[in-house]
Chain A
Amino acid sequence: MSLLALQRDVGTWLRDGSNAAAEAIGVGYRPGLAVYLNNYRAQLAAGLETSFPLTRMWMGDDAFQEATIIHVDRVPPSGWTLDAYGRDFPMTLAALYPDHVEVAELAWTEWAIGEAFVAPDHDIVDAASLSAVDWGRAILRLSPTIRIAEVSTNVFDIWLALTEDRPPPPAQRLSEWRTLLVWRIGHSCQVRPMNAPEAAALGQARSGATFAQLCDILVAANGEERGTALAGAFLGQWLAEGLIIEIANAVQPAP
């Protein structure tokens, strides 16, 4: 048997643990293969426990363990780092708990925090530099640590209570979707909900709109006075929260 064929057979054994897979490698190897199978499953389960401690707390140990077993069976790892293995776990939870949407949303929140924790470092905009900005051409460059998701439950309140070691509130569906924002300031990850106008404005800024275009959109949606006030308020808040890493000038279109 070639090395490639052997490694494919061992991979099949780890994924399905079947007699057929073990026999393809050799029946005499069964005790050793069992050790590797156990190591494989235990490693992946431990990786999920590390990535999703609050989700585990919310679900309870037994339900979480059942979900990890199902996930390990359904989703073979492909990335070079075990840290990446949990990326699809929120989707597994969404499929397992369609009537408890907060479970998958809580897992997404933890995953987003984990990603923000090791996202690229960056400077933040110095307030003293703002006087030199040409606001007519300004583009807001946002932190690469930002992660955004739409949620339909009070998952933010649940997450906050669990992080503060308080009894969490019961899960509730919200009357309308809400946007959760995750990012990092220094070494500290932040989570907060955004209202619809802010979420829309941040989405525009992330897609490369100039600050002037962003103001126009807010004015069109909210009227001159409120739209202008919102633009100023969002800019101030994003600067204060370290969400803006650079204010660049848009390239002027050719005449």
Chain B
Amino acid sequence: MPGRTSRPGYFSEMTRMTIAPFAGFGLGLRKPHYAAFLEGRIEVDFVEAISENFMVDGGQPLDILRRVRADYPIALHGVSMSVGSADGLDPDYLERLRRLVDMIEPLFVSDHLSWSRIDRFNSHDLLPLPYTREALDLVCANIDRAQRALDRDMLIENPSSYLDFASADMTEWQFLGELTRRTGCGLLLDVNNVFVSAANHGFDPIAYLEGIPASRVRQIHLAGHSQGEELLIDTHDQDVPVGVWDLYAHVMPRLGPVATMIERDDRIPPLQELLDELSVARRLGTPSLRTAA
């Protein structure tokens, strides 16, 4: 299990990351494919499960996850930790996630650089942060608290965003760099989110990929998006488009061992279609993984 050793708080400007590297190619565990994963050996190196779907007391979902875990390494990916909430983290959420982590012993535990909840209102969306010094201090404190509660380092995913706050003191990639340096967390690089945010806010995606701390990236998401009225929307309901594949091919030689996956959340196709799409990732990413190894 990729666990953590005792370490000081984020104020110590910690730079060491304790998440063990893992190289491979995987898919998200989605309901239409539960039976396939339970019935036979699917050609993936790992499976990613949405944490909140399994942070329950009992019943079939947990039983399925335990059975899948018996055959595949699992990454736990959350959508509700709300590491950017100005009023802190939800202790009940952390307690339930810790129980799941202890049960599953995942490869990674990840969530998003975003906020969902303020006071007692929970939007259930990944809302954007202004990349200010104030936000950086707050997110670092929240991630530090989460990592202590989970007794392990996390991966933080770059979001797709539709707002670019004028009050920002730094770029998103600079913010992520500071975040990883101060908390010891790693990065889940969502290449589609880079593509979407770059289109929406007019920054250069290559500058983004070259600006992030490459050695901190442990996992990659590849997904599709849709054209909204004025902005690109991160819908996760399409095949991975050419532009995202190009960015993936560009960034892979910069990275060490990473776990790449196709993330599909809506209009979920037959499993074989996703496996075919994953084979493209294998073709593009494997040479870099060999070099990194």
Contacts and interface: CB of A to CB of B under 8 A. Distances in A.
B120 A4 contact: no
Interface stretch (A10-18, A58-66, A156-164, A245-253): A10-18
Interface string A1-41: 11110111011001100000000001011011101100110
Contacts of A119: 57-59
Interface string A131-146: 0000000000000100
Nearest to A79: B122
Contacts of A2: 86, 134
A120 interface: yes
B207 interface: no
A184 B59 contact: yes
B71 interface: no
A81 B87 contact: no
A184 B62 CA distance: 15
A108 interface: no
Contacts of A33: 162-163
A97 B114 CA distance: 39
A36 B230 CA distance: 13
A31 B230 contact: yes
Secondary structure at the B interface, as helix, strand, loop or mixed, is loop
B120 A78 contact: yes
A14 B118 CA distance: 12
Interface residues of B, number: 48
B92 A120 contact: no
B58 A118 contact: yes
Interface in B64-122: 80, 85-87, 90, 92-93, 115, 117-122
B90 A7 contact: no
A117 B60 contact: yes
B124 A3 contact: no
A32 B231 contact: yes
B227 to A, nearest CB: 12
Given A31-B162, A81-B52, A118-B61, A76 B121 contact: yes
Contact of B125 (A39, A78, A122, A187): A39
A81 B80 contact: yes
Given A7-B86, A35-B228, A80-B93, A43 B130 contact: no
Nearest to B87: A4
7 contacts: A7-B115, A8-B119, A14-B121, A28-B166, A35-B162, A76-B121, A80-B80
Interface of B: 52, 55-63, 80, 85-87, 90, 92-93, 115, 117-125, 127-130, 132, 134-135, 138, 161-167, 200, 228-231, 233
Given A7-B115, A11-B118, 15 more contacts: A2-B134, A3-B86, A3-B135, A4-B86, A6-B130, A7-B86, A11-B123, A31-B229, A32-B161, A35-B228, A36-B163, A39-B125, A77-B124, A79-B122, A118-B57
